[in-house]
Amino acid sequence: MAAEQPTAANLHAGTGPRDHDGAVFSCRDLRYTYLDRFPALAGVSLDVRPGERVALLGPNGCGKSTLLKLLDGLIFPDSGTFTAFGHPVTEDVLEDEQFSTAFRSRVGFVFQNSDTQVFSPTVRDEVAFGCLQLGLSEDETRTRVEDVLRMLDITDLADRAPFQLSGGQKKRVAIASVLVMNPDVLLFDEPTAALDPRTQQWLIDLIVELGAAGKTIVLATHDLDGLDTIAGRCLVFAEDHTIARSASPTDVLADRDLLLQANLIHDRSRTTR
Ligand SMILES: Nc1ncnc2c1ncn2[C@@H]1O[C@H](COP(=O)(O)OP(=O)(O)OP(=O)(O)O)[C@@H](O)[C@H]1O
Ligand SMILES: [Mg+2]
């Protein structure tokens, strides 16, 4: 009998209980300014529940990518609190190796630009990297890598150099290198940007499948097509770096003023030329 095709639902099933009944993320009054000059978050509060798929929407420069970096523990707020799985996450706390390993294994981030994410000599090494960093055995790592390569349909790229791949192929490799660690939470920064329509649809389907498998997903997007498929809830940023609305995709899509404010649609009557 043919081996069962790996899917989001059965990939590495049984790696551990999902032990967080409360919020996955709790953020209160987060403020973040780059270089003391460029405000990015000006008092942002949100909760993300287990299994939610949340879309961050809003104009360029409003703070979506900054919030994702904060949720991934890559940067830390100037003020406000960030709690993940019931534990406060701070720079000091993440210096603790045990906490850091646990946090990093539970939260995965797919960057907008895959070039900043892929750096190993081959795709297989790239996808294996995170597992080896987490201290998984070579056998376990090999099994996971082969499963995830098959799941993302990139087995034929396994021996290629990631930096020589096309943008869409690199995106699949970047996603594989995150999924291989089987995180509870996936953060995607503009996942469908710069992908051809078929690959966009493939990625939307994958995100929905991951959500159905119980993953918590937070993604930043400007893409209204498929918003109601990809997300269960939207957080709409305003230009002042605060969250203006938390609403269902249906309500957001029906609110023309909100869509205009968030630069998600464009009012041609206001264009001068
Ligand atoms: N590395 C940085 N150094 C200085 N300022 C930055 C840096 N990264 C972002 N900013 C500024 O922080 C603000 C928020 O940027 P951020 O990238 O979070 O926005 P965004 O909502 O993701 O925008 P986009 O839709 O264009 O991706 C912007 O004003 C931006 O210029
Ligand atoms: Mg961004």
Assess whether the C-beta atom of 33 lies below 6 angstroms from ligand 1.
Answer: no
Which of 266, 109, 134, 241 lies closest to 188 in space, CA to CA? 109
Q: Establish if 171 belongs to a structural domain.
A: yes
Q: Establish if 76 belongs to a structural domain.
A: no
The DSSP 8-state label assigned to residue 47 in this structure reads: E
Measured CA distances, 20 to 73, 87, 94, 115 (Å): 18, 11, 19, 33
Q: Establish if 244 belongs to a structural domain.
A: no
CA 266 to centroid of ligand 2, rounded, Å: 19
Q: Establish if 232 belongs to a structural domain.
A: no
Strand order in the sheet with 243-247: 107-110, 185-189, 216-220, 53-57, 233-237, 243-247
* Both tokens assigned to 120: 């190993």
Domain that residue 155 falls in: 108-182
Measured CA distances, 175 to 111, 113, 127, 186, 242 (Å): 9, 12, 9, 10, 29
Q: Establish if 113 belongs to a structural domain.
A: yes
The dihedral over CA atoms of 54, 59, 62, 65, expressed in degrees to the nearest 10, equals 50
Domains in the chain: how many in total?
1
Q: What is the pLDDT along the chain (273 residues), one digit of tens a residue?
A: 344 455 555 444 433 334 445 899 999 999 999 999 999 999 999 999 999 999 999 999 999 999 999 999 999 999 999 999 999 999 999 999 999 999 999 999 999 988 877 789 999 999 999 999 888 999 999 999 999 999 999 999 999 999 999 999 999 999 999 999 999 999 999 999 988 999 999 999 999 999 999 999 999 999 998 899 999 999 999 999 999 999 999 999 999 999 998 888 888 766 544
**Rounded Cα–Cα distance for residues 18 and 233 (Å):** 22
Q: Establish if 78 belongs to a structural domain.
A: no
Assess whether the C-beta atom of 61 lies below 6 angstroms from ligand 1.
Answer: yes
CA 244 to centroid of ligand 1, rounded, Å: 18
Q: Establish if 140 belongs to a structural domain.
A: yes
Name the residue at shortest CA distance from atom 2 of ligand 1: 34
Q: Establish if 159 belongs to a structural domain.
A: yes
Vertex 107: Cα angle to 228 and 207 (nearest 5): 25
Which of 69, 57, 70, 61 lies closest to 29 in space, CA to CA? 70
Name the residue at shortest CA distance from atom 27 of ligand 1: 60
- For residue 58, give the ligand nearest its CA: 1
**Rounded Cα–Cα distance for residues 145 and 127 (Å):** 6
DSSP 3-state assignment of 155?
Answer: helix
Assess whether the C-beta atom of 62 lies below 6 angstroms from ligand 1.
Answer: yes
